[in-house]
Amino acid sequence: MKYQIGGSLKKDSPSYIERKADSQIYEALLEGEFCYVFNSRQMGKSSLLVKTRARLQEDGNLCTTVDMTNIGSEHVTPLQWYKGVVGDIWSGFGLPGKVNLKNWWKEQEDVSLLQKLSRFISEILLVQFPTQRLFIFIDEIDNILSLDFSVDDFFALIRYCYNQRAINPEYERITFAMFGVATPTDLIQNKKSTPFNIGRSIKLTGFTFNESLCLARGLNLDTIEYSQAVLQEILKWTGGQPFLTQKICYLVAQVGSGGVGDWETRGQGDEDKYNYTNAPCPIPNPQILISNIVESKIIERWESQDDPLHLRTIRDRILNNDLMAACLLGLYQQIISGQEVLADDSKEKIELLLSGLVVSEKGKLKVKNLIYQRIFDLKWVAKQVDNLRPYYQKINVWIASGQQDKSQLLTGETLHKAIAWLDKKQYSDNDYRYITDVKQKKLRKLNVS
């Protein structure tokens, strides 16, 4: 078995893991439901798309995929964008040679771009394919969020196609499915417009042990029983996160086949030290084997060993959103400290979920897996928060004093700079209490004078 680290798996890949979501989206699409799979990166969304599309095509349906990264988001005009969407659908359904898109597009010059897309669906797709069911998969939908113009109307058109079924049964033959790192509220951003409130959300969760048993076959270890025990240990570290699970399986297979030398462990005190040797040696118990591989190949010097990108993508998702970084770090700090944080639809909690760092479990947020917990620990959070705050030294002393040391509160120009910085940010609870104390101190001084 060949493990694939990153990227979409082929429809017949032996390392593809079928999850509950596979049957859910397949059955929902067959029933004509519009579906969306919104989750963090590298959770297997695109692989699920490929597999589902292949299953539908095997049933005799027609399918195509519009990849938003292919259309582009930077320096793209509305004309280029809509024409790119129409062009992808046109070629994906094999219409070149049947429909002259260039001539047809010119014939529609008196209507808006949205109307052109709408007419393409009603006058071309439904006419050219009078009996077949048509499935349009839209991948990497989050790329629309960086466009310089609104595409609210595009999603309104998808809703229109859904609503038209009550009037024109022909529209029952066309179904959409969307995939990406987004939320339904991201899709139509004009608050005066009807929100994107149709379709079925398909939840993607990590691999369970039973689902991922086929991965044990490629580990190149002595027995299937031992391989399965090793797989269990892998899942304990990854929480079933697809990218990390495939990566650690690959690393174990390299060890098992002698690709990086045999694994040697030596007990030294309370710790198990490890190194690679070329000499044969007994294979350690699964817990030691996986712990050592994870420590040496994933956690140690994680930023330099993060290839293909995964951990740095999570880091950047948290830190690169300049307006929310402090708030996200403060929220994550509560979670990793063991505080109860309820899952809800607040913007910051949704953003933290989309980073992939946490997961919602029984209505509460928790760190997704042990690897993330080890890398993005309290020390890492504290360092990032300090890097963000222009007043980090004073707030640290203030927190250490139990929020009692008023001498650490800001004054003068430093205070004005801090307030200006905070006014543009969503900040953590500690920042809120700190700046409230600062303002109260300033108010008391004004009253005294």
Of 334, 368, 384, which marks where a domain is finished?
A: 384
Q: DSSP labels for 216-249?
A: GGGS--S-HHHHHHHHHHHHHHHTT-HHHHHHHH
Q: Report the percentage of the chain scoring pLDDT > 90.
A: 64
Instruction: Work out the pLDDT band at 280, boundaries 50, 70, 90.
Output: very low
Total residue count of the chain as it appears in this document: 449
Q: What is the mean pLDDT of residues 192-200?
A: 73
- Alpha-carbon dihedral angle through residues 317, 322, 326, 332, given to the nearest 10 degrees: -10
pLDDT single digits (tens) 69-112: 999 888 899 999 999 999 999 999 999 999 999 999 999 999 99
Domain shared by 312 and 445, yes or no:
no
Structural domain contains residue 209: no
pLDDT single digits (tens) 29-48: 999 999 999 999 999 999 99
Domain shared by 377 and 413, yes or no:
no
pLDDT single digits (tens) 202-239: 999 999 999 999 999 999 888 899 999 999 999 999 99
Query: 284 pLDDT exceeds 80?
Result: no
Give the pLDDT of residue 72.
83
Instruction: Work out the pLDDT band at 430, boundaries 50, 70, 90.
Output: low
The Cα-based distances of 430 to 24, 403, 443 in angstroms read: 42, 9, 20
Domain shared by 30 and 171, yes or no:
yes
Structural domain contains residue 216: no
Of 267, 300, 333, which marks where a domain is finished?
A: 300
Domain shared by 295 and 344, yes or no:
no
CATH number of the CATH domain containing 337: 1.10.10
Number of structural domains in the chain? 4
Domain shared by 188 and 313, yes or no:
no
Domain shared by 313 and 379, yes or no:
yes
Structural domain contains residue 5: no
Structural domain contains residue 441: yes
Distance CA 434, CA 440 (A): 10
Domain shared by 185 and 65, yes or no:
yes
Q: DSSP labels for 67-110?
A: EHHHH-SSS--HHHHHHHHHHHHHHHTT-TTTS-HHHHHHHTTT
Query: 127 pLDDT exceeds 90?
Result: yes
Helices 325-336 and 378-388: crossing angle, nearest 10°? 160
Structural domain contains residue 4: no
CATH number of the CATH domain containing 54: 3.40.50.300
Give the pLDDT of residue 264.
46
Domain shared by 59 and 191, yes or no:
yes
Rounded to the nearest integer, the mean pLDDT of the chain is 86
User: Which residues have a Cβ under 8 Å from the Cβ of 162 and sit 6 or more positions away?
Assistant: 34, 171, 198, 199
Query: 244 pLDDT exceeds 80?
Result: yes
Contact 9, 313 (CB under 8 A): no
Distance CA 104, CA 87 (A): 12
Q: What is the mean pLDDT of residues 242-268?
A: 70
Q: In the sheet that 134-139 helps form, which strands lie side by side, from edge to edge?
A: 62-67, 134-139, 174-180, 35-38, 200-201
Domain shared by 164 and 51, yes or no:
yes
The dihedral region occupied by 6, where left means phi > 0, alpha psi between -120 and 50, and beta the remainder, is: left
Instruction: Work out the pLDDT band at 199, boundaries 50, 70, 90.
Output: confident
Distance CA 375, CA 299 (A): 6
Query: 346 pLDDT exceeds 70?
Result: yes
Query: 443 pLDDT exceeds 80?
Result: no
Q: Lowest mean pLDDT: which of 50-59, 251-260, 273-282, 345-354?
A: 273-282
Instruction: Work out the pLDDT band at 274, boundaries 50, 70, 90.
Output: very low
Domain shared by 61 and 180, yes or no:
yes
Q: DSSP labels for 275-292?
A: EEESS------HHHHHHH
Distance CA 306, CA 316 (A): 13
Of 249, 267, 300, which marks where a domain is finished?
A: 300
Structural domain contains residue 338: yes
Instruction: Work out the pLDDT band at 402, boundaries 50, 70, 90.
Output: confident
Distance CA 442, CA 83 (A): 58
Structural domain contains residue 11: no
Structural domain contains residue 374: yes
Give the pLDDT of residue 270.
38
Q: DSSP labels for 108-148?
A: TTTS-HHHHHHHIIIIIIHHHSSSS-EEEEEE-GGGGGG-S
Q: Lowest mean pLDDT: which of 6-15, 172-181, 327-336?
A: 6-15
Of residues 427 and 120, more confidence is placed in 120
Residue 274, domain extent = 222-300
Domain shared by 66 and 165, yes or no:
yes
Q: Which of 361, 384, 359 is nearest to 238 (CA)?
A: 359
Q: Lowest mean pLDDT: which of 104-113, 169-178, 387-396?
A: 387-396
Domain shared by 179 and 64, yes or no:
yes
Instruction: Work out the pLDDT band at 61, boundaries 50, 70, 90.
Output: very high
